Amino acid sequence: METAAFTGVVGGVGTTRVAIETAGVLAAQGHAAAVLDVNFSTQGLAGYVDAPLEADMMDALIDPSCTKEGICTIEKPVDGKLGVIPAFGPLSKIAEASKTEHAQQLDAVIEQMPPEYDFIIIDTPPVATNPSLAGITAADDIVAITQDTQRGIDGLRRMHERLSDIDVDVDKQIITFTDNSSFIDNPTAAIPELPPTDPNSVPVTIHGTHSSEFSSVAEAVFPSVSD
């Protein structure tokens, strides 16, 4: 099982969409992939799930034994498997799950994931909270999601500075909403701007839409994909 934290350097750069589309292309290739949402402020992953949630990511952090109950399988016509554990709950639940002792149980949550999952993507907010720190420390690789703008450059610089405090650094950089880079040197991959899409149609990569771009992300983040 390989893990990667997809971490937005600032809000609004499309981190959740990149995470779910990358997992989608992995599932389309026959792998089992899951996305875990520790971005409690936006709870964006919940928008891609229709079924009622028996448990969510915050429940799993508070009690890792309920991790399997929180996995929602997104039923799509793919050879592999796509699962998500969304975050969904009120402010009181966010506060409880964000406590240091609970956020630090993310490693235990990952250990509770069924062994058939080959790849785990952690949808992580900008580094400033206990859940975001848990996301980057639990992952094998830290993948910065940014924009090819001055705002993105500034956010990436802040992220490097904050990570240096805990002696880790960004492993890969994905830029969104562009086909190439002007500001950021040697990005791992570039994702073009995606049109607004009905959440029920996401991930579009399982239908072959933008699959080449997200395949490049998947192969760069998880080298074993191309083995």
Range picked from 100-114, 146-160, 185-199 for highest mean pLDDT: 100-114
Q: CA–CA separation, 204 vs 168, rounded Å?
A: 33
Question: Residue 186's pLDDT band (boundaries 50, 70, 90)?
Answer: confident
Question: Which of these ranges, 38-42, 43-47, 143-147, 175-179, has the smallest mean pLDDT?
Answer: 175-179
* β-sheet with 81-85: strand ranges across: 72-73, 81-85, 32-37, 119-124, 2-8, 141-147, 172-176, 189-191
* pLDDT value of position 138: 95
Question: Are the beta carbons of 17 and 194 closer than 8 angstroms?
Answer: yes
> What domain count does the chain have?
1
Question: Could you check whether the bond before residue 203 is cis, i.e. omega within 30 degrees of 0?
Answer: yes
CATH of the domain at 211: 3.40.50.300
Question: Residue 144's pLDDT band (boundaries 50, 70, 90)?
Answer: very high
> Percent of the chain, pLDDT > 90?
62
Mean pLDDT in residue range 38-51: 88
CA 99 to chain centre: 21
* pLDDT value of position 75: 75
Closest Cα partner for 5 from 106, 150, 74?
106
Phi, psi of 101 (to 5 degrees): -65, -25
Domain ranges, residue 47: 2-226
Q: pTM of this prediction?
A: 0.93
The residues, ordered by sequence, that sit 6+ positions from 166 with a Cβ below 8 Å of its Cβ are 133, 137
* pLDDT value of position 180: 64
Question: Are the beta carbons of 23 and 82 closer than 8 angstroms?
Answer: yes
Pairing of strands 32-37, 81-85: parallel
